Amino acid sequence: MAKIKTQYKCSNCGHVVPKWMGRCSQCGAWNTFEEVVETPKISEKARQTGRERGVYNQPRRLSEISSKQENRLSTKNEELDRVLGGGIVRGGVALLGGDPGIGKSTLLLQMTENVASQNYKVLYISGEESEQQIKMRADRMHIQSDSAFFLSEINMTYIRQTVVKEKPNLVIIDSIQTMYNPEITSAPGSVTQIRENANALIQIAKKDGISMFFVGHVTKEGNLAGPRVLEHMVDTVLYFEGEKYHAYRMLRAVKNRFGSTNELGIFEMTDRGLLPVQNPSGTMLVSRPQNTCGSVVVPIVEGTRPLLVELQGLVSASDYANPRRMATGFDYNRMILLVAIMEKRMGLNMKQMDAYINIVGGIRIDEPAADLAVCCALYSSYNDFEIPRDMLVIGEVGLTGEVRNIQDVDKRLTEGKKLGFTRCILPKSNEKAIEKVGKTLTLYPVDNIAQAFHALKRK
């Protein structure tokens, strides 16, 4: 491989020097030099062999390209396979991010055992833990597989040689920020190191058909650390969500070239690692309080999966000139908007009241179908009355107080029926769904939030 040449460029005037300088000799600016990597020229031998960037293909017509689908490799984890789009794709590269301690390494160590048990060769490379530390965690999780191989190393030169030599079916890099290329002078975790190391591994994955998983660190804002181009380079970007002190973890795909980005995987952290939750809706509602105002159940849809989630609202008198507003698991600005709609359209005096919204279980709701449930939970707490336990509430609320139609109503109501719910407040504009499931549930179609509040008090 050609040696990478490192230079430093002034971000103010563009002056290039071979070594870092505190002050630019051309424009006089201080601390403006940034490291840049000069792409080496491809030799004639590399052009013939195609080893520099992979195999050089000839352009073909669309009709000449085979549409045969690749056989996916199952992880033996239903929730992980769901998020990946059906399993691991040969030659695919995935990036897994999440807060420290949320379970990224635990999930990948379990996946290592599951894949290796299917007679596939797996190579787990850790730059953060020693082989003894990995062994100790495997013992805690009762993992006994001897089919996988583990390596504690950060030198990218040796890692590339090992991957090309061993030719495993799956490679796990934990984490990409700890890998170090000695041909680049910057420290591990820098923009140049992450970009070049990821690019080198992706070239190997695409050429040799090796599936790879990268673990990525996150910043304090929750974004993946390093250059944004890293997310563009990989095929799949996965995010772990949830508080590390909660038992449940949510796995989402924010980018997936091989499947949908709307799917959600739900796991439970146990002493044996992360286990898939078989009945998420029932699990989320198992501790729902009785005879309490401000609690309502809303059916949401994540990808193809309907979920029943408990939404709690609290309204109390404020001792401050500016009342507090707080939302956990729900968009704060959306909550402020809904409170304003209730004040304007229903005449409620919320200016001297604190308002709080909480989504139970650590789940975050982004779809507008939960708008009406938020309004009903706050209205229930404001007037101190209990919402019937067998009632669901769904609907999007507009600025004029109207309740607008939503999608996949039949899936939501079917899931509610399985768990014993018999009534539902929903938009009147969803007439087709009402006709389909109207005989199995008692439905209250509404046009605005005033009608919805009236339906809440029906016994």
State the pTM of this model. Answer: 0.76
The DSSP code sequence of 25-64 is: TTT--BS-EEEEEEPPPPPHHHHHH-TTTSPPPPP--GGG
Predicted confidence at residue 387, as pLDDT, reads 93
146 annotated ligand-binding residue: no
pLDDT > 80? residue 437: no
- Give per-residue pLDDT as tens, 36-74: 766 555 454 444 444 444 455 678 888 887 766 667 899
- What is the rounded average pLDDT of the residues 108-134? 92
Per-residue pLDDT band for 326 (boundaries 50, 70, 90) equals: very high
- What is the rounded average pLDDT of the residues 195-224? 90
Angle in degrees, CA 296, 334, 319, rounded to 5: 80
Predicted confidence at residue 70, as pLDDT, reads 67
127 annotated ligand-binding residue: no
Q: Which stretch of 63-72, 314-323, 410-419 has the lowest confidence by average pLDDT?
A: 63-72
Distances (CA, A) of 212 to 92, 115, 128, 414: 6, 13, 18, 38
Q: What percent of the chain has pLDDT over 70?
A: 91
10 Å Cβ neighbour count for 379? 23
Predicted confidence at residue 56, as pLDDT, reads 58
- What is the rounded average pLDDT of the residues 204-222? 89
50 annotated ligand-binding residue: no
CB 90 within 8 A of CB 211: yes
Q: What percent of the chain has pLDDT over 90?
A: 46
101 annotated ligand-binding residue: yes
Token pair, residue 369, equals 């179908």
The DSSP code sequence of 272-327 is: TEEEE-S-HHHHHTTT--SS-TTEEEEEEEETTEEEEEEEEEEEEE-SSSS--EEE
Predicted confidence at residue 238, as pLDDT, reads 94
103 annotated ligand-binding residue: yes
Q: Which stretch of 11-20, 75-84, 157-166, 197-206 has the lowest confidence by average pLDDT?
A: 11-20
- Give per-residue pLDDT as tens, 90-102: 999 999 998 888 8
Q: What are phi and psi of 339, to 5 degrees?
A: -65, -40
351 annotated ligand-binding residue: no
- Give per-residue pLDDT as tens, 331-366: 999 999 999 999 999 989 888 899 999 998 878 898
Identity of the amino acid at 253: A
Per-residue pLDDT band for 261 (boundaries 50, 70, 90) equals: confident
Q: How many residues does the chain have?
A: 459
